[in-house]
Structure 1
């Protein structure tokens, strides 16, 4: 019955495809029995929208998420005899404003419909790190600039979009060598960026205790080879270990996210060294396809299985509503909406054979 704790649909996410119900039906067809619906949290500033959202406002995003909660709740009831659907929210942790509004949403009556949080960081110093490589370079460059002296004011954060009008993607100064297409940052330039990423992630972890920590090393999206060098960067590796220990302390799960394979990685998120760190500290691994439409449901899950089995992951975990708790389930976080349930011999489950057949039929 392997599971996915992270998914999107084109109905509520402009960079995804297909209606939410079609995604659910495909998950059922492939044999998923637990499937998390985790549309993005609203963003609250025009400069945090993306080019495909240029006709929208932050209010539109908030209303879309409210609509998602209502429709997802209805679909959960409709398909309850065929699949266990969990309703979630993936964080977009950009500025303190996002944290404040996330806390308000979770504390509201609408927050009662949210079973768990996928805690993700997609921005560093206000700039998206996974929209495209050039935008990521701007974040790296901003972090690598000389820190201000005590007499100087703190440099302002950047932004993903120029709000206009009309809104358009911020391009940065192309006369700067390290912002040009194809530039490869040095390790020295990357270290401040990585430090800032993991510090932002730690802030998210401490303030909100996400039940699932999303793609822990998304910061390496464009430089996956650096994953093999993190332990040689003491200031970065110390932050990674700090964050892992913090999640373990409250019982959170670390998603093994199959989307990294379609981004060209040889591994999922987390990469090998971080995965081994999590396992050595007795962290709990869960599965996610991070699907963005029907064609992405279960995509590269067989590669994910092989990667985790090759890393000797003996147990995976999945989330279950608290009112379905049984002996052996473990607490997760401080919201107490879900508990974690273990699954042994997970890679021998009949699901995998059914998935192979379903994916062959799809092609």
Structure 2
């Protein structure tokens, strides 16, 4: 029973490939029974990625509107072949992020959404090493301290949104000097991880197993093995 609850298309996301329809067709060809469409929400002008330098909150909002309409079209077109869920992936950067999320939830009907954190100290931690280091500089230039802040920000997001699916829970390790670290070795970080896992379980959230980590040179998916074991 193959399924996926996290996807991005090159049609609506600068760091992805293929059209939304090509993704759906690929999922069908691989025998998927359920496939979720979850493009990123628009970001404020101060929070655009370098790849989005020509964009704005307005243009990204227009793009997201087009995504939703296309997702509805594809859900109807392929209804006899696959169950398509329509959703989005959050950003959690500053108070404006919550306003954007609530605006989307009021405007459209979604089947689910993914709660993710991609920024710490309002700086992307998953785009490249330079930006990761810029974010880390605000945490005493220490990977462990930055991880503490990341999981605290994640906890804030979890408490406020209670997302049905939690995205790449330990994304913070991607550009870390210790990307293969066993978080158990960092007691203060490990305690935060378990706190977050307990809260996710308390409201019935799902923890995604994200294989994109392999494509980015990691030895394990997100989250790493110890976190998977602790989540049981």
Q: TM-score range by the shorter chain?
A: over 0.9
2:58 maps to 1:105:
no
SS of aligned partner of 2:35: strand
Shift of 1:225: 4.5
Deviation string 1:62-113 (CA, Å, 9 cap, x unpaired) is 111111111101100000001111011101111111012212321x132x2x
Which residue does the alignment assign to 1:52? 51
In structure 2, the gaps of 5 or more residues are none
Q: Higher relative CO (CA 8 A, sep ≥ 6), structure 1 or 2?
A: 1
Q: CA RMSD in A?
A: 1.4
Q: How does 1:245-256 map to 2 (within 5 A)?
A: 245-256=198-209
Deviation string 1:298-355 (CA, Å, 9 cap, x unpaired) is xxxxxxxxxxxxxxxxxxxxxxxxxxxxxxxxxxxxxxxxxxxxxxxxxxxxxxxxxx
Shift of 1:142: 1.3
In structure 1, the gaps of 5 or more residues are 146-188, 280-363
* Total equivalences in the alignment: 232
CA pair 104-91 structure 1, distance change in 2 beyond 3 A: same
Shift of 1:226: 5.0
Kindly indicate whether the alpha-carbon contact (under 8 Å) linking 1:92 and 1:120 is maintained by their aligned counterparts in 2. Answer: yes
| Alpha-carbon distance in structure 2 between the residues aligned to 1:240 and 1:273 | 10
Shift of 1:212: 0.5
| Alpha-carbon distance in structure 2 between the residues aligned to 1:256 and 1:225 | 20
What TM-score do you get using the length of structure 1 for normalisation? 0.62
| Alpha-carbon distance in structure 2 between the residues aligned to 1:235 and 1:144 | 15
Kindly indicate whether the alpha-carbon contact (under 8 Å) linking 1:10 and 1:16 is maintained by their aligned counterparts in 2. Answer: yes
Kindly indicate whether the alpha-carbon contact (under 8 Å) linking 1:3 and 1:35 is maintained by their aligned counterparts in 2. Answer: yes
Which residue does the alignment assign to 1:207? 160
Deviation string 1:142-170 (CA, Å, 9 cap, x unpaired) is 1216xxxxxxxxxxxxxxxxxxxxxxxxx
Moved over 3 A (4+): 223-229
